[in-house]
Amino acid sequence: MLATAITSTHCPYCALQCGMNLRPTEDGGVDVVERTDFPVNRGALCGKGRTAPAVLSPSVRLTGPLVRDRATGRLEPAGWEEALRAVADGLRRTREAHGPDGVGVFGGGGLTNEKAYALGKFARLVLGTSQIDYNGRFCMSSAAAAHTRAFGLDRGLPFPLEDIPRTGCVILVGSNLAETMPPALRYLTELRENGGKLIVVDPRRTRTAEHADLHLAPRPGTDLALALGLLHLVVAEGRVDEEFVAARTSGWADARAAAMSHWPALVERVTGVPVPLLREAAALFCDAPTGMVLTARGPEQQSKGTDTVGAWINLCLATGRAGRPLSGYGCLTGQGNGQGGREHGQKADQLPGYRKLDDPAARAHVAAVWGVDPDSLPGPGRSAYELLDALGRDVRALLLMGSNPVVSAPRAAHVEERLRSLDFLAVADVVLSETAALADVVLPVTQWAEETGTTTSLEGRVLLRRRALTPPAGVRTDLEVLHGLAGLLGWEKGFPADPEEVFDELRRASAGGLADYAGISYRRIAQEDGVFWPCPDAGHPGTPRLFLDRFATEDGRARFVPVTHRAAAEETDAEYPVVLTTGRVVSQYQSGAQTRRVAELNAAAPGPFVELHPRLAERVGVAEGDPVAVVSRRGRAVAPARITAGIRPDTVFMPFHWPGEGRANTLTNPALDPTSRMPEFKVCAVRLEPARG
């Protein structure tokens, strides 16, 4: 590896995409140094960002292809020609035996825009399969569906982060920013310093909730009832912005009627949040001159996540907190390119530019860019969990890039079983993850500092990650992998390995779509610290703030959608009397495939735990640090008890970063939201047992 100069780039982890500089070191690696000129983080970085170069070390990452020896069953080193040919042969054999949909493709929310675009194109053109989705389906698909339903367009934040400290009140629902996006916590601190109010909705008193003016701790799975109860109070107390509702929305009458059936006493019984706190929250939000609601995985990762987010959007619309400066609803996207990853073709039902795969005009536009007949493009396929559940049955071979579903998928033991049942599995990754360890072929690919490409942050800001290092000799980029496979499968053209060439094609494919990147170029991104989409031409300034003049619906009005509370897919009972909810800790990231290889991060967060209230611990008979078994209808996980009064007595929390016996997703419920197909990670019924010995 060779570094020659300081390189300005972005963190490889969450959707803040914090700016950082990489400085070359004498041993040929890089150190992270502050990049104070980037407005999102102003030089601040969390521990994951500071230690990101550690995963570049050959001692922790893959440095050459691996092919499984059929005689020994072990993964053995192989050359690139052998490995690529093995993948091409495995995919070809499966197509010939089971048809195009016998082959699946599973992507990741950490892939750059160029990779996501090329992977979707590869699936639909080279393989001809409809069976493609990605792990971003597990991230914010419910918010995306609700955003599109209400506003006609989905972008995580319709305003830049810099607007948050200037609003009057923020309701933060199901987000622990202090641990998941630490550099963003300053926006909430500045909000309060400016006189604004912060309301945090979370069943745990997290480090973020400690900063709140008001903390509401509902029972997991009841956020929908809570939002409807607040809207009920807004109506009952005469706080509706009637002028805004009349001028800029439609469907209010039905949404109001639905909310009025959720009176405060009922909402208190359902959520556990006392009526006085409900009234205080409504007053804080409505008395402020402007306001925002920001949601994250808490309300979204539910079998009713789309309706839950929709209820919070209805609250914004009824109070005039949308389509105005310093007001609105936003979703805090999780993965590094969770936004761009779903805009350009990884999602089962979408084509580049946020075009719908079943829209004839959309198919015609993209097919023209690709130089194919629109009728040759497959239709929509299965969502992420449904695709994983079909492995070894309808889908017999899988190409997987940038994801680790053995740890991150719901009902993970079942997903692991399905992966093992495949006729053929190929994985492209930077490390030998738990999923890669099951593969027939493992392809080692470059990392963030070894390649150039774009990502789209939670603000909708398209950014350029720059290459700072020459990758190890045995490693190739994902684009080079797709280029090589396409050639072996008969597509000599159409899959360039140069990222800027891919991005220029993406711009053409997205032109005229909702996520229009046509006016964005590498040079422009570099000059402007990123460009906000939509940006339809080179003369367009980009769009940091959406919906100020009109919403993206046909008539320009935001749409109220009437929703009513319903129970979680799995309620507690005598056998499983406790609710499990899952989440993250500050020193690990997602499935932990990379962060678990960094000594400093492991020292801070060495393994899983079960967080529970002292009363529940006493009832179960466990003390601090004792191993406790958490059992659901899908399996059993064991981890040390962490006892705190900062969680509801009827709820336990587990982080989901680890494999093995402490794997939280062994327990979680794959029940799907009917619209977004998001699994219900955040709510399932469990029982607790001492696990001594």
Looking at the DSSP assignment, which residues form a beta bridge with residue 294? 172, 330
Query: Where does 141-334 sit in CATH, by number?
Result: 3.40.228.10
pLDDT digits (tens, 9 = 90+) for 189-244: 999 999 999 999 999 999 999 999 999 999 999 999 999 999 999 999 999 999 99
CATH fold for the domain made of 578-690? Barwin-like endoglucanases (2.40.40)
Based on its alpha-carbon atoms, the radius of gyration of the chain, rounded to whole angstroms, reads 24
Average pLDDT over residues 354-377: 97
Q: What ranges in 62-121 are assigned the alpha helix state H?
A: 80-98, 113-121
pLDDT digits (tens, 9 = 90+) for 258-291: 999 999 999 999 999 999 999 999 999 999 999 9
The residue extents of the domains of the chain are: 7-56, 66-138+337-457+460-532, 141-334, 578-690
- CA distances to 319, 380, 392, 458, 605 from 356, rounded to whole Å, are 32, 9, 28, 21, 41
What distance in Å separates the CA atoms of residue 406 and residue 516, rounded to the nearest whole number? Answer: 34
Please say whether the beta carbons of 652 and 644 come within 8 A: no
Q: Is residue 450 helix, strand or coil?
A: helix
Question: Given a cut of 80, is residue 2 above it in pLDDT?
Answer: no
555: left (phi over 0), alpha (psi -120 to 50) or beta: alpha
What distance in Å separates the CA atoms of residue 500 and residue 454, rounded to the nearest whole number? Answer: 9
Q: What is the pLDDT of residue 3?
A: 46
Each residue of 180-191: b (16+ CB within 10 Å) or e? bbbbbbbbbeeb
Structure token pair of residue 46 = 């969390």
Q: What is the pLDDT of residue 27?
A: 86
Q: What is the pLDDT of residue 1?
A: 43
The amino acid sitting at 295 is T
What distance in Å separates the CA atoms of residue 307 and residue 326, rounded to the nearest whole number? Answer: 24
Question: Given a cut of 50, is residue 15 above it in pLDDT?
Answer: yes
pLDDT digits (tens, 9 = 90+) for 107-166: 999 999 999 999 999 999 999 999 999 999 998 899 999 999 999 999 999 999 999 999
Each residue of 520-544: b (16+ CB within 10 Å) or e? bbbebbeeeebbbbbbbeeeeebbb
* Percent residues over pLDDT 90 in the chain: 97
Other beta carbons within 10 angstroms of residue 332's beta carbon come to 27
E strand segments, 584-650? 610-612, 627-632, 635-643
Please say whether the beta carbons of 335 and 341 come within 8 A: yes
What distance in Å separates the CA atoms of residue 34 and residue 188, rounded to the nearest whole number? Answer: 22
- CA distances to 89, 160, 448, 591 from 290, rounded to whole Å, are 59, 15, 38, 37
* Percent residues over pLDDT 70 in the chain: 99
293 closest CA partner among 463, 460, 150: 150
pLDDT digits (tens, 9 = 90+) for 85-111: 999 999 999 999 999 999 999 999 999
Number of residues that make up the chain: 693
> What burial class does residue 302 get, using C-beta atoms within 10 Å of its C-beta: 0-12 exposed, 13-18 middle, 19+ buried?
buried
Q: Is residue 107 helix, strand or coil?
A: strand
CATH architecture type of domain 7-56: Single Sheet (2.20)
Query: Where does 66-138+337-457+460-532 sit in CATH, by number?
Result: 3.40.50.740
> What burial class does residue 414 get, using C-beta atoms within 10 Å of its C-beta: 0-12 exposed, 13-18 middle, 19+ buried?
middle
pLDDT digits (tens, 9 = 90+) for 63-87: 999 999 999 999 999 999 999 999 9
* Summary mean pLDDT of the chain: 96
What's 219's DSSP letter?
P
Q: What is the pLDDT of residue 4?
A: 57
At 333, the pLDDT band (50, 70, 90 cuts) reads confident
The amino acid sitting at 263 is W
Q: Which long-range contacts (CB under 8 A, 24 or more apart) does 355-361 make?
A: 355/513, 355/514
Structure token pair of residue 596 = 């678990």
